[in-house]
Amino acid sequence: MSITEISDLLEKHGFKGAIFAILIFLIVSLFKSKWFANFISKVSDKIIQSFVSKKGNDIRTVTESDIINHDIFNYIDFWTYSKVPTFQFSTEYRTAVFRKYLTIYLKSYKKNLQSYISSGEYKVMDNARLSTSMLNIINQIVFDYERESENSGIPLIVIERMKIKNNETIKLKIDLLDGICSSQFYESEENLLKVYSILNIILSVLENTISSSENVCNSINGALKGLTFDGKKEP
């Protein structure tokens, strides 16, 4: 920002307005700087490590059995068959709708992740291919549960509101996924540590979706009025 530009700001907006504009300029410049990019990269690495570290264990010691029997599948089964069926939302209609959506959501993750792991193709992938393959499987999962939800009669507004909420965590998930695939910290034989770590991140995302579903439900006001689902009608 030149002296002339600062003078123009003073003339147009006064001292306080000019100071505010200059501060905004400096903040934007900071965000665009190489230093800030490096800082974000380091913070991202710390976040990744905090996601995947298990207390008291060496996370570099990962076997194929650890991946096949990852906790994510036990949690999905627990949520699907024990937790979600007990959820109570604001009305019987919303309870039926969101229980169905969450069940479809969880089963889609389990089916696609198990298929991906069973193929074993990740074992021979380089970093770029591994990252691309995981991104593809996430896209496939989203496509599957949204399509099945719509085919099951779940209102589009519910699918759209959950999509907005899910996108908040999917963006973070993709960033962390890319970080893991490109980081030497997660190098191991047959990419076992990388895949195991990515599954840990996905598990955290699923938990966030489950816990935030009631807030999404409550954010939908009168758009569901008069609709029916599974024998239940929205007042």
Specify the DSSP class assigned to residue 191: G
CA distance 40 to 61: 28
Residue 62's SS3 state is coil
Q: Is the pLDDT of residue 13 over 60?
A: no
Which range, 4-13, 24-33, 53-62, has the best average confidence (pLDDT)?
Answer: 53-62
* Distance between CA atoms of residues 206 and 114, nearest Å: 15
Is the pLDDT assigned to residue 220 strictly greater than 90?
yes
Question: What is the model's pLDDT at position 115?
Answer: 96
- What confidence category does residue 45 fall into, taking pLDDT thresholds of 50, 70 and 90? low
User: Each residue of 108-145: pLDDT tens digit?
Assistant: 999 999 999 999 999 999 999 999 999 999 999 999 99
Confidence of residue 99 (pLDDT cuts 50, 70, 90): very high
Asked if 121 contacts 132 with a C-beta cutoff of 8 angstroms, the reply is no
pTM: 0.75
- pLDDT at residue number 50: 54
Question: With 60 as the cut, is the pLDDT of residue 88 above it?
Answer: yes
Q: What is the pLDDT of residue 171?
A: 77
pLDDT score for 46: 52
CA 64 – CA 195 distance, rounded (Å): 10
Evaluate whether 195 touches 180 at the Cβ level (below 8 Å): no
- pLDDT for 145 equals 96
For residue range 183-215, what is the model confidence (pLDDT) as tens digits?
Answer: 888 888 899 999 998 998 899 889 989 999 999
The reported pLDDT for the residue numbered 60 is 54
Q: Please answer whether residues 43 and 179 qualify as being in contact, where contact means their C-beta atoms are separated by less than 8 angstroms.
A: no
Average pLDDT on 222-234 reads 93
Average pLDDT of the segment spanning 136-159: 96
Taking residues 87-116, report their average pLDDT.
Answer: 96
- Domain boundaries along the sequence of the chain: 3-32, 56-233
Give exposure, 178-197, as e/b (b: 16+ Cβ within 10 Å): bbbbebebbebebbbbbbbb
